[in-house]
Amino acid sequence: MAVNEKKKDLLETVADGVGCEYLSDLRYKIPAYTIKRVLKEIKPEQYSIEAWNDAVSYITGKDFSFESRDQALEYMKHYKE
């Protein structure tokens, strides 16, 4: 990674993966199964627990504070089933 390159945050990665033009599309326009498909390709350790909590909270519209990245990903695997 070049010095001036910024790593994408988890929400940006998911939004890019599903083809969102706007971040808000993740909550209001993109079906949960599409988001889950993208999340399957992401390793939990690629992002901090804070990034996972922020992403899950933003996508679901509820406040979450998971203790581990794996818990956050597991929750999202079953979101809206």
Q: List Cα–Cα distances, 45 to 2, 20, 35, 39, 50, in angstroms.
A: 21, 24, 18, 12, 12
* Interval 20-32: pLDDT, tens: 999 999 999 999 9
* Interval 41-78: pLDDT, tens: 999 999 999 999 999 999 999 999 999 999 999 999 99
| Structure token pair of residue 48 | 């901090």
The mean predicted confidence, pLDDT, of the chain is 91
The pLDDT assigned to 8 comes to: 81
Max Cα distance, the chain (Å): 42
- Cα 3 from chain centre: 25
